[in-house]
Structure 1
Amino acid sequence: MSSRTFIVLAALAGLLKADYAAAQESVRLSSTPPVAIGLSDFIGLDRVEVWRTSASSETFLYAMFTQKPLTVQNLSFQLAEVGTFRVRVFDAAGNPASMRVVIDTQAPTGFVDRMEWSQSCGRQVPSRIAGSVQDDVSGAQAIRWGIHDRSADLSWDGTSWVSGMSLPREEPVSGPAGRWEVELPRVAWPDRHAEMSVWISASDVVGNGAIARAAWDFSIADADCRASP
């Protein structure tokens, strides 16, 4: 379990009050560590509030009051849930500062939803694949993918077919439902009939990774290079 320190700094604005400026506006975590906050203010600290947030609303969870009139405080608390939170800090004059905290322990889900085909030696073979990665909390980051020949238990590594299943290539994605699309490298498709799968594994921006899975099954026919093209 890791820990993360949030630092909120105060800047004097006038003689009697301070305006806060957050050192970080947002942080994303892949676990639920204790959160330590170092606070500083010229006129004294009042309280820290923790809120759960969603796209349409915020729900108050709890507040911690500091020991006024001290101008420096160190507080520690636990965010024991997965989700998005807003940590708000107030000084004695009511000036606020806030930080968004995202805790995401769930792996994203990757999909293949489109495959394009081309002619090769009188048969159809894939030429392009496309899909998406779904991650509603911290956002998708990348997809790893590979082509597996189930008939012979071989995978294409970019230059040749190797034993077993592997995911040799990675493509970046972005956003909660990140799109990805790749042209297939020059695959040396076998001349025989073969049962194939596209395997993928997705990851998000905080490092959660999904277990590799077969996302699209297809087959290719026997080659007949006397046919066109």
Structure 2
Amino acid sequence: MSIDDPVDAHLQSLKQDLEANIADSLGAPTLAGILSLIPGVGAAVQSLLGGRAQRNVQRRWIELFLEMKKRIEQARASIPDHSYYGSEEFQTLLALAQEQLWTTHDKDKLRLLAIALANSGVDEFRGDDKELMLRALRTISPSDLRTLDHENLKGWLPLTNRFEYSDEILGSLSRLASLGLVTEKFLRPDPNASDEQKLHSVLHFGPRRTFQLSPFGQRFMRFVAAQDGQQDETALP
């Protein structure tokens, strides 16, 4: 980001002003005293009543716009019509993004949200259901995103290998499957195993399943990808 860019400089200045005001009084002394008596919850309620939550959302907007602007500049040659970002379709995506800003503070997810908004105007995604992909991004958690990007779900690997996933990862995979991002298949028991072995396997491990990144999941991962089209890899526990 160039410090000479007037748009960037203005956004950064707004962000600094918001951060400086966060420590301001959040309400009348009497109200603050009452709220302080509520263990743990008081501070959160104070922040909502005093406007701190609103300033946090405004700061997230600025961070999102900075990241989105950076991605648009990277993809400029692949954007056939820059007026798209003033269209009704893009306004719908912005409205979906606005709802997300109230419900997450995770910087990595906010960054992917900004990239997705920028990529919505790229020629590669002209025929995609961008609203569906943005809704999917809003629904899944940061840990779900890491699960989705793991090598175990890609290519032929899940079809040629059997993986034992933890309960936490199985829950994540089930959520991703419900969104169509992952394909879930039940495997037939080993025909060479005895009835006792088959029963033992079902009782201890449940039905054998395999999970694979779906075609929609593949498009989704490209939609939230930066210029190189790659995401960070994180090992599944």
TM-score, length of structure 1 as denominator length: 0.24
- Larger Rg computed on CA atoms: 1
TM-score, length of structure 2 as denominator length: 0.23
